[in-house]
Chain A
């Protein structure tokens, strides 16, 4: 036996959790790198939004009503970008993490569950900042002239944060209850459906009057509509989009915390 060497051994027990901020920062950095390295996710979160913004701004294929096309499109595409990261990407990523036992493995580390959620949220916000910078830069090059001033920017930030919370809760609800393959299919389907129906590129008032209230209640529509009314139309910040997004957040978080399965 080599018991006498135990104090100098590489493996001599010395367990202690790292400080919470270090754990969360490390996990957030890992999540961020994995998201930015994933080609399919970049297609959804960066390439498609930029192509839609530039394509529909530079051509007259799409009738966006009066005013510069980019002024109509930019808020909608920002909403699409937020949805693609917080909902589509997060649902698919988390679904496969659950399937491959990653959530379970992380559950055996000192990182608590709320630390993992905080890290995921930070990573999503990081990707969103990158998207917003890229999309706003592209939009400005295309002649975007947003109105609303400082209040408009603050309101936009509030809506984006709330929408991120709502989309994240819905993403975790889907990823934590469905099989990974079903999540992959369903999350992509929702992306396409809300791209069409969520006021991203097609104005909601073009749809039949009967379905308009339903479309207005969708989280993507609330985000796109709220951003557009302030940034494009220069209207005062409205309460309705905030309420719609808050309701989705509450419902999604409640259901996700109730039904999420970690393995």
Chain B
């Protein structure tokens, strides 16, 4: 059995003059969660729809479970579960009825009642799709994606618009899929989701992969020191006081705050140890600066994304 669930190589997709996917490559494993992470319009949905066989790539090569998503579509369909961004459920279909239909397409489906219960949808079973809340619609769509016991699922923004409770339910289900050996490829623009869920994160911006690896690899398991202070801090002078192989970034502070945020990372031996911090605070004291909210923390994917693209991931 081939190991990779998805192998995409140099995929290009254009819509007229606009290039949505610009030479994108990634690999997703079975029994692992792969997150395609990026802002809206980065090309995540186009990429996933090419893998699903809904769209043709203009060039490049895609293999899903070792097969061609377009030429081998009929062989792949029973084996691949799909959760599109738009639910794709007839507005008049009832939740339970829709799941029973989806289960009728498969020889060994998960019982619809079991999934309704797992996803907290029993009370909505007789409700038409158009009267379900956005979160219920999302969960129904997720249930339909997994009901046929697929080897691989594509989840396009599976938790968009979910409340924290429903998001946790979805995360748990995704974790179970992975543990059962199912390959999961999902798109998200939630950093937290990628960090919590994904074994492998592919950061996409403007149709290209800007970084690719495990969360630890991407953040290089790096610590950072951050504090807030008045804008215009002499970062070069501070840097001169620090061990070599250190960097300082100045980024905007909290919304509504007049302060700037300063982020320091270092690859110096000893890292962000007590001595390093003492050096920073000593320099601050010598320059009459109060470093507010000084703390050492693990770098986040958000920091990595900002550093790689110069832009915030989250749209306000």
Q: Which residues of A contact B (CB under 8 A)?
A: 1-3, 5-6, 9-19, 22-23, 25-27, 30, 33-34, 37-38, 96-97, 100-102, 104-112, 263
Residues of A within 8 A of B87 (CB): 100-101, 105
Contact check, A23 vs B104: say whether CB atoms are below 8 A apart.
yes
Residue from the list A13, A23, A25, A102 in contact with B149, Cβ < 8 A: A13
Q: Could you list some 23 contacts between A and B, CB below 8 A?
A: A3-B181, A5-B179, A11-B149, A11-B177, A13-B149, A13-B150, A15-B78, A18-B106, A23-B105, A26-B105, A34-B90, A34-B93, A97-B90, A100-B86, A101-B84, A101-B86, A104-B88, A106-B88, A107-B54, A108-B52, A108-B80, A108-B84, A110-B106
CB contacts between A and B, total, < 8 Å? 125
Q: Which of B54, B74, B77 has the most CB of A within 10 A?
A: B77
Complex-state Cα separation, A106 to B102, whole angstroms: 9
**Segment at the A interface, from B107-115, B223-231, B241-249:** B107-115
Contact check, B89 vs A102: say whether CB atoms are below 8 A apart.
yes
Q: Which of B31, B91, B101, B181 has the most CB of A within 10 A?
A: B101
Residues of B within 8 A of A23 (CB): 104-105
Q: Which residues of B contact A (CB under 8 A)?
A: 31, 52, 54, 74, 77-80, 82, 84, 86-93, 97-98, 100-102, 104-108, 110, 114, 118, 144, 146, 148-151, 176-177, 179-182
Contact check, B101 vs A10: say whether CB atoms are below 8 A apart.
no
Q: Which 7 A-B pairs have the closest CB atoms?
A: A105-B88, A26-B104, A9-B180, A16-B107, A101-B86, A101-B88, A11-B180
Complex-state Cα separation, A17 to B149, whole angstroms: 11
Closest B residue to A10 using CB positions: B110
Q: A26-B101, A108-B77 are in contact. List 8 more A-B contacts (CB 8 A).
A: A13-B149, A13-B180, A15-B148, A30-B90, A102-B90, A104-B84, A108-B52, A108-B84
Nearest CB on A from B156, distance (A): 11
Contact check, A33 vs B97: say whether CB atoms are below 8 A apart.
yes
Q: Which of B52, B106, B108, B144 has the most CB of A within 10 A?
A: B106
Residues of B within 8 A of A3 (CB): 31, 179, 181
Contact check, A17 vs B106: say whether CB atoms are below 8 A apart.
yes
Residues of A within 8 A of B79 (CB): 13, 15
Nearest CB on B from A173, distance (A): 21
Residue from the list A22, A105, A110, A263 in contact with B78, Cβ < 8 A: A110
Complex-state Cα separation, A217 to B54, whole angstroms: 39
Complex-state Cα separation, A263 to B91, whole angstroms: 16
Closest B residue to A22 using CB positions: B104
Residues of A within 8 A of B52 (CB): 108
Complex-state Cα separation, A38 to B91, whole angstroms: 10
Contact check, B86 vs A110: say whether CB atoms are below 8 A apart.
no
Contact check, A100 vs B108: say whether CB atoms are below 8 A apart.
no
Residue from the list B90, B118, B149 in contact with A12, Cβ < 8 A: B149
Contact check, A10 vs B89: say whether CB atoms are below 8 A apart.
no
Complex-state Cα separation, A111 to B105, whole angstroms: 7
Contact check, B77 vs A109: say whether CB atoms are below 8 A apart.
yes
Contact check, A12 vs B181: say whether CB atoms are below 8 A apart.
yes
Closest B residue to A105 using CB positions: B88
Contact check, A15 vs B179: say whether CB atoms are below 8 A apart.
no
Nearest CB on A from B14, distance (A): 18
Complex-state Cα separation, A101 to B105, whole angstroms: 18
Complex-state Cα separation, A111 to B104, whole angstroms: 10
Residues of B within 8 A of A22 (CB): 104
Complex-state Cα separation, A96 to B177, whole angstroms: 33
Residues of B within 8 A of A14 (CB): 108, 149
Closest B residue to A9 using CB positions: B180
Nearest CB on A from B79, distance (A): 4
